[in-house]
Amino acid sequence: MAFDARVLILAAHDARIGPLAAGLDALGWTTVTARDVGSAEATLQDLPLEAAVIDFDSLTPDAAVRLRAAAQPRRLSIMVVGAAPDSVEGADVAMSVPPHPAQAALRLEQLGRAAIAEEEFHLRVATFGLRGISLAADPGAAAPLRILAAGVADRRFLALSNALTSAGAEVVAAPTPYTAFDYLHETLFDAAILWGAKDHTPALSIAAGMKRNTRLYHIPLMLYLRGADEISLNELFNRGFADVASTETPEQETAERVLAMAGAHRRHLTIRKALDSVRSLDL
């Protein structure tokens, strides 16, 4: 039912996003569809929706701004489907092809947690400001995003690592699961990419180990496959991967998706650290 909806679908037709919406519905992320921006604004004003998924064909230049304004005071997470990440402004994540429903649900959940933390942070900033207390995020949050790239050397995996480096990220290479966990226990990472290679076992073992560790559990993971049909996507997302990409996707787009995940994770942790620093203050 629309009154139980969590996700707004903005699409003039169902050709591209219809199957994704049906998959989200089946996973409990109930959707409500608007066919134009005006209807979407009205829907957001009536329903407490958490996120919006927009078909690129229905994306007007001001759509993201208008939808976020209509959702105020909530912070609306926005995913655009059907466009390369570098061609869209104002979206939290953009994908050229519709993601697997489980992948979209995990991504929206991550964005939702970050949005809730962001709302609480701005509320606390205003509250403490009235009492003359300054609350600011850690300035260290501006440092380059740090990405772990775990897997044997391969020209396709190296091409993705180079794309991330060119975008300003710090990429740390770990050729084996042992070195990967050494780095994970010694260094803070904003995201990790695991190379599927011919044998997926090392990547899956790293993912399983991270999901059993409370400190590493929330680091977003991407599995990078040689081909899109190598393994069941349902199985992968049940193992905790936040994203799955293949070498069939342009390296630049995959890099943008990794950076978007890493940036959201970094921002979430930075906000939580700032909030925790003032929880003990007696006001």
pLDDT tens figures, 106-152: 889 888 888 888 888 888 888 888 888 777 766 666 789 999 999 98
pLDDT at 253: 87
Question: End-to-end distance of the chain based on CA atoms, in angstroms?
Answer: 43
* Residue 154 or residue 280, greater confidence: 154
User: For the residues 248-273, what does the mean pLDDT come to?
Assistant: 88
pLDDT of residue 139: 62
Residue pointed to by tokens 């993971």: 221
Q: Would you state the structure tokens that stand for residue 69, as one six-digit string?
A: 């304004």
pLDDT at 94: 86
Stretch 12-24: mean pLDDT: 94
pLDDT digits (tens, 9 = 90+) for 201-255: 888 899 999 989 988 988 999 999 876 565 667 777 777 788 888 888 888 889 9
Average pLDDT of the segment spanning 57-64: 88
Q: Which tokens go with 150?
A: 């775990």
Most confident of the ranges 50-54, 152-156, 247-251: 50-54
DSSP code per residue over the chain: -GGG--EEEE-SSSTTTHHHHHHHHHTT--EEEESSHHHHHHHHHHS---EEEEEGGG--TTHHHHHHHHHTTS--EEEEESS-GGG-SS-SEEESSPPPHHHHHHHHHHHHHHHHHHHHHHHHHHHHHHTT------GGGGSPPEEEEES---HHHHHHHHHHHHTT-EEEEESSHHHHHHHHHHS--SEEEEE--S--HHHHHHHHHHHT-TTTTTS-EEEEESSTTSS-HHHHHHTT-SEEEETTS-HHHHHHHHHHHHHHHHHHHHHHHHHHTTTT---
pLDDT, residue 141, reads 67
pLDDT digits (tens, 9 = 90+) for 177-194: 999 999 999 999 999 999
State the pLDDT at residue 210. 92
pLDDT reading at 29 higher than 70: yes
For the segment 46-51, the average pLDDT, to the nearest whole number, is 93
2 pLDDT exceeds 60?
no
Question: 221 near 191, Cβ under 8 Å?
Answer: yes
Asked whether the predicted pLDDT for residue 1 surpasses 60, the reply is no
The mean per-residue pLDDT over the stretch 28-37 comes to: 94
Query: What pLDDT does 60 receive?
Result: 86
Q: What is the pLDDT of residues 73-100, one digit of tens each?
A: 888 999 999 987 666 778 888 888 898 8
pLDDT at 220: 92
Alpha-carbon torsion (62, 66, 69, 71), positive or negative = negative
Q: Please report which confidence band the pLDDT of residue 45 belongs to, taking 50, 70 and 90 as the band edges.
A: very high
What is the rounded average pLDDT of the residues 46-70?
92
Say which residues have a Cβ less than 8 Å from residue 273's Cβ, sequence separation at least 6.
Answer: 137, 138
Distance of alpha carbon 153 from alpha carbon 174, whole angstroms: 9
The band of 11, judged by pLDDT with boundaries at 50, 70 and 90, is: very high
Return mean pLDDT, the chain: 87
Q: Residue 245: what pLDDT?
A: 86
Q: Judge contact between 52 and 7, C-beta under 8 A.
A: yes
